[in-house]
Structure 1
Amino acid sequence: MDWQFDFEEEQSLLDLQQKHFEALYFDSARRLNYRSYSDDENFVSVVDTLFDELGLSSGYQQELKRSALNCILTNFFLAWRCERPVAVSFNKNYYSDKRSRYVPKFFTYNIVIESIIKKLIETDYLILSAKGFSFANKSRYSRVDSMTKLRNLLPRFSSNDALDIDDSGFVEPIQLKDEHKKLVDYENTPELDEMRRKIQRYNEFILNQQVTVQMNDEDYSQLLFNTRIHLYTHFNTDSRYIRYDSQTTTRNEILDSLVNNYYPFTHTISLRHLSIKRVFNQSSFTKGGRLYGSEVQGLPKVIRHEIKINDESVVEPDYSTLHLRMLYHRKNIYPSETDLYSFGDEGTRKLNKAVTNIMLNSGDEESAIKAIAREFGSNHELKEEFGDEISTHVRIREIISAFRTAHPNIEEFFFTGVGLDLQFEDSSIMLEILDELVTKNIPAIPIHDSVMVGISHQEEVMNLMIEKYEEKLGFKPVVSCD
């Protein structure tokens, strides 16, 4: 009797453990992303095959259904590669809430669920692993997995060939966010249509250029090490997802095999996500408006220097201390200094630059001090160089005081939220620069206050940056190139 009790208790614990692992697996799901899409010709061939097999080639909305099928298959490929399910909502209201300019037209309940996912389940390409459930006191969408039948259609993508994922066709190039940084809808105007035309024209142009990063051994090794550590977390071994910690390297033999298989590295990396969008803030088309989206913007400067555009080395001319200089120009003053961040104690330029955006974007001094403290407190590089005291309110007030002393003529703009107005002006200038460069067939990549171009175009682009600034603001800026 005791033995029977122990056996049942052990079995109960095993069942509980299995349920726990299943819950963790389901909780790691990749949410169905309507922006994932691949135009790889081999992948498109698989899409075409299933498009006919599922009977989608007859009836209406064929092009929308083809786009939806591509998107869905791309999602399941990416999830399968990381051994994760896909989180899918079968609730009609979920899709009705998504109807806006920011969501592709194919992302409807009838197309995504009724026309495609349910048919893929019925034909054994997908399986519903779990209907909507709760885990950790939170509701979860249903979990859907790809089956062997679908995975066998994609063998060529499972090893050394990286699937090219592109979302540029599904991204609204003009985005408007409210005070809580949530996207809000808006009505088109002739001015917005012209702006959209310029952005789309640039995107079509830049996506036809070859942009690569050629890494030297030192930078490549560091990038490889950092990236591998994070890629390890994509894989499941012994029913457990790998955590990012110091013990990760103990599994290198298995993990390196997985990473080499799914994420091959070379010294020349092709950059594909180059399209841009213009993002406005505070529900206003005169606030913010900077250009985001290009993956180049997220690269460290030391790596950006290794980029080549159409096999040509690049330079990155930029507007020197742009926003502070714009404020001086508003006061009809030409500052004599070339570098407006160089003031106060020797070596503090980096700190002065770091606080500028927060001072100009904040609406009052106290909130700015708290924001600067958070920024400095989480910046290990600054803390290592200047010490932990840089995140104290006392030290921050000293930096702000030095700022006031160095720039009394523009002190009235500090802590007024003027930063978003300045971003609107500088992004408008940048869009005009890019539009003219497209006309001249000169590929360029924007980095907010700088432009990355081939070295042969350096002088022409620097002159254009000066010209467009003068046209917009009536003053001559300082443009430099390190």
Structure 2
Amino acid sequence: MLLLNLFTVWSIDPKTKLGISLDANAYSGASRYRNPHLTYRQFEAAFRGLEALGFLKVTNPGYQFKATGEGQVTRVVGTEKLGLLLQEETQLSPIDVVPSPTRETILLRDNSGRMVEYDDTEDTTRMRNNLGRINHVLRQNWPDIEISRDEWVNLQERLEAKEDRVPIDLGSRYLSRIFNNNSFLMGGRFYGGWWQNVPSDLRPYIRINGKLTVEIDYSSIHPRMLFAMEGLEAPDDPYDIGLDPRFREVVKQTFNALINASTNRINPVSSFDADAIGMSWPEFKKVVRQAFAPIAKYFGTGEGIRLQRVDSDILEKVLVYFAERGIPCLPIHDSVIMHHGYTDELEAVMTQAFEEVTGIAGKVKGTLSVQRAREARGNPDGAWDIEDVLRPDPSFRDYDDRLAAWHRKGWGKA
């Protein structure tokens, strides 16, 4: 386990750090979140041995403040010696690293974000079984992103610069549902897929088994739910409140911040620019509240996290529908990425699932993926011949090698 995790972060970027707990208490006790086959004595022996042999290096020792309980686990990196050994001697690649099918997938957190224990119910058992079917299909297929080596490095640097994003690990294609605030009525969205960290401008380059994809998402899902709860029909575009179309995104972010917050006192959202909009943050927030007056009573109540349980149940229906047919779907909260050939069926299934759960008609919109070959070869408008099509592009070698390895190993045929 330690070797595979070190290889994984080394494959992402040799500078990527791996968090490891050296607290013996983390390896004991009867917890649904702990690997029962992994003991501290075994783990520490392997850790110290790899460190002594020069295969891993501690970059940041772990610590914990007794007064507050806050701290950080030990951070390590895999050395070049280890990376080259595993890559050259074993020919290991990211497609070989698959998650354990027995690990816990229904996660419950408290108000501080810490994992808490719970007793299973009929609902949690059903959700876990559904996730088992969904993850089984994901393990048998290979989602990837068709970008060049330079673009890959740039993407990882972009993600490392953001506090709410993590580097892309292509082996992370195993989903969990995370519930919040000690309640299975709050949250429940699907997490764990690497594609969820890809910025929107690069998502059109996501592939499944080398095939082009489509992303279909629910349009204005939470405003539509809240209007329905009040017995009202939502506007065609709830985020169009009469301002310049350039500010639609800041309206959307402000609305989401207001329904997710437990008070009406929220900080300016990341896209807010007082000079561009021509009003202060308090003034802008007031305009947004007035535009959503029929549902403004939900602002500052934390209703957003309760709505996440509803939208995650909707998405579960969609994912299970396709999983039962062996077709992989890549969820991103309120959207789904899958093979573009299923576009019409996906739209129909998503619309039906929304109506089954909420009782109102849903609205979806789609974005097709794009072909990279033309722009990669610097010939966006010119005619191709067969040699152009078949000639490999060296800048995309990493992607091509992974896809070839996937087909060569016969994955997806089980």
SS of residue paired to 2:207: strand
**Structure 1 449/101 Cα, relative in aligned 2: closer, same or farther at 3 Å?**
same
- Residue 134 of structure 2 contacts residue 319 of structure 2 at CA under 8 Å; is this kept in 1? yes
Within the candidate set 300, 306, 309, 2:199 is matched to 300
Asked whether the 8 Å contact 2:355–2:362 carries over to 1, the reply is yes
Structure 1 CA distance for aligned equivalents of residues 10 and 247 of structure 2: 49
Partner residue, 1:315: 214
**Alpha carbons of 1:85 and 1:399: their partners in 2 closer, same or farther (altered >3 Å)?**
closer
* In 2: Cα distance, 1:146 partner to 1:221 partner: 22
Structure 1 counterpart of 2:3, from 73, 80, 92: 73
Closer, same or farther: CA 157–395 of 1 in aligned 2, 3 Å: farther
Match of 1:480 in 2: 365
**What is the DSSP-based 3-state SS (H/G/I as helix, E as strand, rest coil) of the residue aligned with 2:322?**
helix
Q: TM-score, normalised by structure 1?
A: 0.62
Q: 2:291 aligns with which of 397, 406, 409?
A: 406
Aligned to 2:228: 329
SS at match of 1:175: strand
Residue 62 (structure 1) aligns with: none
Equivalent residue number for residue 349 of structure 1: 248
Paired residues for 1:250-261 under 5 Å: none
Q: What RMSD over aligned residues (CA atoms) do the two structures have, in Å?
A: 4.2
Q: Does the aligned pair in 1 maintain the 2:55–2:78 contact within 8 Å?
A: yes
1:455 is displaced (CA, Å) by 1.6
Alignment counterpart, residue 37 of structure 2, candidates 84, 87, 106: 106
Quote the offset at 1:285 in angstroms. Answer: 0.4
Task: State the number of aligned residues.
Answer: 352
Please state if 1:199 is matched with 2:131: yes
Alignment partner of 1:352: what SS? helix
Distance 1:76 1:300 in 2: 25
CA separation in 1, counterparts of 2:250 and 2:76? 49
Question: Distance between the aligned counterparts of 2:298 and 2:340, measured in 1?
Answer: 37
Please name the residue that 2:120 is paired with. 188
Closer/same/farther in 2, CA of residues 352 and 158 from structure 1, 3 Å limit: farther
Change (3 A) 1:402 1:108: same
Q: Is the 8 A contact 1:173 1:199 kept in 2?
A: yes
Query: Tell me, which stretches of 5 or more residues in structure 1 are unaligned?
Result: 1-70, 232-243, 245-268, 377-381
Contact 2:219 2:364 in 1 (8 A): yes
Residue 208 (structure 1) aligned with residue 107 (structure 2): no
- By how many angstroms is 1:324 displaced? 0.4
- Determine whether 1:154 maps to 2:85: yes
Counterpart contact for 1:281–1:289, Cα < 8 Å: yes
- Tell me, what secondary structure is at the counterpart of 1:426? helix
Where does structure 2 lack aligned partners over 5 or more consecutive residues? 162-167, 368-414
- Aligned with residue 363 of structure 1, among 262, 273, 292: 262
Paired residues of 2:354 and 2:362 also in contact (CA < 8 A): yes
Tell me if 1:467 matches 2:366.
no
DSSP 3-state at the match of 1:334: coil
- Aligned-partner SS, 2:327: coil
From 440, 451, 471, the counterpart of 2:336: 451
- Give the match for residue 248 of structure 1: none
Q: Is residue 28–residue 39 contact of structure 2 (8 Å, CA) maintained in 1?
A: yes
Show CA shifts across 1:285-335 (max 9, x none): 000111111111111122111122233321111111000000011112122
Deviation at 1:430, TM superposition (A): 0.5
Choose between structure 1 and 2 for higher RCO, CA contacts under 8 A separated by at least 6 residues. Answer: 2
> SS at 1:339's partner residue?
coil
User: Which structure is higher in helix share?
Assistant: 1
Residue 183 of structure 1: how far off its partner (Å): 0.8
Q: Distance in 2 between matches of 1:128 and 1:295?
A: 24
Name the amino acid aligned to 2:261: S
| SS, match of residue 427 in structure 1 | helix
- Of structures 1 and 2, the larger Rg is shown by 1
Which whole-Å deviations, capped at 9, do the CAs of 1:218-271 have from their partners, x for residues lacking one? Answer: xx755444547999xxxxxxxxxxxx9xxxxxxxxxxxxxxxxxxxxxxxx994
